[in-house]
Structures are given as C-alpha cells and as structure tokens.
Chain A
Amino acid sequence: MKFLQATFGIFISLIFFTACKQQTRLPILGPRETRQVKAPDGTVSVDTIYKTIPSFSFLNQDSLPLTNDTFKDKVYIADFFFTSCSTICPVMHRNMKKIFDDYKNNPDIMFLSHTIDFKYDTPSKLKTYAKKLGVDGPKWQFAYGDKAAVYTIAEKDYLVAVMEDSSSPENYVHQGWLVLIDKHRRIRGSYDGTDDKQVAQLIQDIPVLLAEK
C-alpha cells in the first residue's frame, strides 16, 4: 500500500511539474508560417517557421562592428532610444540599468540599445552616454547605423515603432518597448519600459528564458 501511495505521489508530482513547466514557458511572438518538410524516407511533416531577428551590421560605441555574432548564444534585451531624449528614454534606461546591475555577473544575458538619432548620436556620443550611465563594457552594446537599417529593423523585426518627426520638440518619436530575444533570435517578450508593472513582468520572465534549454 505504501508503495502504491508513493508511486501515486510521484505520478501526481510528475503531472504537476510537467504542467508547471509548460505554463512558465514564454510564448514565441511575431508572425509565423508553416513549411512542409520532406524526410529522407519520403514522409512529409509540417514545420513552424518563427519570426527571427535577421542578420544586422551596425557600429557599437567603440566604433567596432556589431552583428548577430556579438549576441551568439545569448539572451538579450533590445530597445530603441536616443541620447538627447528627455521623455521616455531616461525612464526606460533607469529600468534597464536595474536589470543590468542584477545580471552583471551572468554572461548569458546582454543588452542592445539602438539609437534612432542617426544625425547626432555617433559612436563617440554613444560611448559618452554609456560611460555616464555606468554601463560601458561588452555587456551593454549601443548600436549606431544609418536611418534605413535601424528604422527597418525596429519596425519590421523588433516590432517597435520609431520615426523622425520635426513637429516634436526633440525631432524623434518612438515606442519604449524592451524586447526580449532568445538564443535563437526569436522574440519572447515585449514590455513597456516606462511601465513599472510590465518591467516587473520582464524581470520575472528573464530567468524563465535563461533556464530554457
């Protein structure tokens, strides 16, 4: 009887653990499509193709090339900002900095901030900004690129709206999403970096994604 109870107990806990695991797995965001795959033995199955961040090439705050390889096998948080922004950017980066500090010694996570001010925010400006924010180092990369490249990757790939707008006092308008990217370049979460609740959710989700195999 005891044996039966124990077996039953293990069985129940297995169900529980499996259920938990599935519940805490982060969703894969963005559009997806299916593709038919033919196995060597002739059987046909369907594969899901998830949206991924395409290859990119920018300059970082040290004027060195910044590509997908920089983030190989890393989870990273991406955002779009500009250094002279006094509206949402300081709030986003105050929140990002807290997360950065929490994971200072964890090599599996990185940070990537793209400037949308292609006129003023040269790599040296980004370097000064990074130093002042206290994050100058390989862990938090700042990306500088031409307008087409940065604005396209923002809107088409990270799904963040950005634009140049001469009617706004600071010339640029953008959304404050912090986008969580997994080791396979897929979007696993998008959080309003100016909203305390959503930032708290991001802080909860990071370890879940890091634990994923």
Chain B
Amino acid sequence: MYYVNGRDLYKKHCQNCHGISGEGLENLVPPLTDTAFLKTNKYRLACFIKYGIEGDTIRVAGRTYDGKMPANEKIANIDIAQLIVYLTNSFGNSHGMYTAEQVAVDLEGCNKGR
C-alpha cells in the first residue's frame, strides 16, 4: 500500500522533474537511481521532500547539482513516508519499509533556514 500510494504521489509531485524512471534531467535535476546516495542520505530525504533544497550543492551519480528543489511544506508525514518507500524501492533501489514515525524523527533534524 505504501508503495502504490507512493507511486501516485511520485507522479504528482516528483515525476515532472525527476522523470518516470527516476532518470533526472541532465545536470539540472539529479537522478534517483544512485543507490549509494540514497542509502547514505536516507534520513535526509524527508527534509528534501518537505523543505526542498536551495543554496546547497549535492553530489549524485558523479555529478554536482546546485539547482533549487521546490519545497512542499503542506505534505503530510504519511505521504512523505509513502514517497520514500516508493523511491527507495524503485529505480534500482531496495530499502524496504519506512514509517511516518521515522519521517517525524527525520524532520526534527532538518535545516529549515534555507
């Protein structure tokens, strides 16, 4: 259920930029297929999804990205959890379950000032 809902949420909120297969867009949008990046940064994904990324560079799949990812502060924790389940179990990733409780913990640690 998490996975299927996550797929719908992905389509609605993420797919335009990140692509139907998580391929990203050249040097504008990072791909979601870098399994090592997702593994290392799993606990930052909730922050990325809710507050976006701006003024920061991230290195994904051997490329540096310095663009802005839009925030989506209205998104519910349960939706973030479903999104994380979908994208960490698609595009070559397989990380298993993620819960809204874990998302709430992750969000405590976000650097919201950006």
Contact = CB atoms under 8 A, between A and B. Distances in A.
A7 interface: no
Interface residues of B, number: 12
A15 interface: no
Contacts of A84: 68
A94 B15 CA distance: 12
A95 B19 CA distance: 11
- Chain B: interface secondary structure? loop
A88 B16 CA distance: 7
Given A87-B16, A88-B16, A97 B26 contact: yes
A11 to B, nearest CB: 50
Interface stretch (A53-61, A131-139, A150-158, A197-205): A131-139
A88 B25 CA distance: 13
Interface residues of A, number: 16
A91 interface: yes
Contacts, number: 32
Given A84-B68, A86-B70, A133 B17 contact: no
- Chain A: interface secondary structure? helix
B16 A129 contact: no
Given A86-B16, A133-B27, 19 more contacts: A84-B68, A86-B17, A86-B69, A86-B70, A87-B16, A90-B17, A90-B25, A90-B29, A91-B16, A93-B25, A97-B25, A131-B27, A132-B26, A132-B28, A132-B67, A134-B26, A134-B27, A169-B70, A170-B70
Interface of A: 84, 86-88, 90-91, 93-94, 97, 129, 131-134, 169-170
